[in-house]
């Protein structure tokens, strides 16, 4: 699948538009992880599996989270703590913005008790910060903002705000949801990068790229010539999935558990 990618090692960044990172060279290996959704236990398991798998690989190694770190699962705040902490020894960690991080950030900056985010898994995130649902029934917007400010660390929000929307390596783009065919990365719309589905899936070719993404859960990873989807619905199935990607080699999949059915989610 990756045979056409040049076998280049090391990572030399070149100038890229805001919110994206582009590198001229591959590291020795990239371990891309699908939607985590607050599943800290599964994340720890998977990163331990990655460390064992990478033991024989020399050179720079990345762990790359494909967005949707938060919501739905029980431990979103702890997952963000882990994202901001040091990665496993010998690795560099990169994290992408997902649509759930985007919704969370919008809510935290202007809390609204009728926000769709709350029903999309946001309540579980608030619980992870020690807030209760009853707060939203009894408080006005100013009170809600004060409660959020006292419970959610400012560095968590700053971290989310700083997340790139995409990372490009020769021949491959990593993004949360997908890209729109025919547009260079500098011209992609943010909403597409976070939310796109059908227009991306239906494209017979994606400008000669392989797109590695999450966002759309399936019972098993989707491995196609032009895209690789790693969202296996960990919050519902217990299956958190990663793929080891190396130039000139097919993807090698790792998962915490076999997924039996895939949930639907926005």
pTM flag (> 0.85): yes
Identify whether the C-beta of residue 210 lies closer than 8 Å to the C-beta of residue 248: no
List per-residue pLDDT tens for the chain, 266 residues long. 444 333 333 454 444 444 899 999 999 999 999 999 999 999 999 999 999 999 999 999 999 999 999 999 999 999 999 999 999 999 999 999 999 999 999 999 999 888 899 999 999 999 999 998 777 767 778 888 999 999 999 999 999 999 999 999 999 999 999 999 999 998 999 999 999 999 999 987 888 899 999 999 999 999 999 999 999 999 999 999 999 999 989 999 999 986 556 667 77
In what order do the strands lie in the sheet containing 20-23? 13-14, 20-23, 166-169, 172-175, 210-213, 227-229, 222-223
Q: What is the chain's length?
A: 266
Asked if the structure places residue 191 within a domain, the reply is: yes
The number of folded domains in the chain is: 1
Residues spanned by the domain of 105: 13-255
In a domain, residue 263? The reply is no
Q: Residue 150 maps to which CATH number?
A: 3.60.21.10
Is residue 113 included in any domain, yes or no? yes
- pLDDT value, residue 261: 61
Residue 8 lies in a domain: no
Give pLDDT, residue 85: 98
Q: Cα 23 to the chain's mean position, in Å?
A: 18
Q: Does residue 207 lie in a domain region?
A: yes
* Consecutive H or E run containing 65: strand 61-65
Residue 261: inside a domain: no
Q: What CA–CA distance (Å, rounded) separates 255 from 91?
A: 19
pLDDT at 142: 85
Predicted pLDDT of residue 34: 98
Is there a domain that residue 142 lies in?
Answer: yes
Measure the CA dihedral 217/102/161/187, to 10°. 80
Query: What is residue 199's three-state secondary structure?
Result: helix
pLDDT on residue 15: 42
The pLDDT assigned to 206 comes to: 83
- 150 domain residue, yes or no: yes
């Amino acid at each position: 699948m990756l045979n056409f990618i040049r076998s280049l090692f090391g990572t030399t960044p070149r100038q890229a538009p805001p919110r994206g990172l582009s590198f001229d060279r591959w590291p020795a290996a990239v371990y891309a992880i699908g939607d985590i959704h607050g599943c800290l236990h599964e994340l720890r398991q998977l990163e331990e599996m990655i460390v064992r798998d990478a033991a024989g690989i020399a050179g720079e190694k990345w762990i790359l989270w494909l967005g949707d770190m938060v919501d739905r699962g029980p431990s979103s705040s702890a997952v963000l703590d882990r994202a901001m902490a040091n990665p496993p020894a010998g690795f560099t960690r990169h994290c992408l913005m997902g649509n759930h991080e985007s919704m969370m950030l919008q809510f935290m900056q202007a809390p609204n008790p009728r926000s769709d985010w709350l029903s999309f898994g946001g309540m579980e995130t608030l619980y992870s910060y020690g807030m209760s649902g009853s707060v939203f029934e009894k408080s006005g917007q100013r009170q809600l903002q004060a409660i959020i400010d006292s419970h959610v660390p400012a560095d968590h929000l700053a971290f989310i705000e700083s997340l790139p929307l995409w990372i490009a390596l020769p021949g491959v783009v990593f993004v949360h949801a997908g890209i729109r065919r025919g547009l260079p990365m500098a011209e992609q719309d943010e909403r597409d990068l976070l939310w796109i589905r059908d227009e991306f899936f239906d494209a017979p070719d994606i400008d000669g790229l392989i797109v590695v993404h999450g966002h759309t859960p399936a019972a098993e990873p989707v491995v196609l010539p032009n895209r690789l989807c790693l969202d296996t619905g960990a919050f519902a199935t217990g299956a958190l999935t990663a793929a080891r990607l190396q130039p000139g080699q097919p993807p090698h999949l790792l998962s915490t558990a076999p997924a039996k059915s895939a949930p639907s989610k926005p």
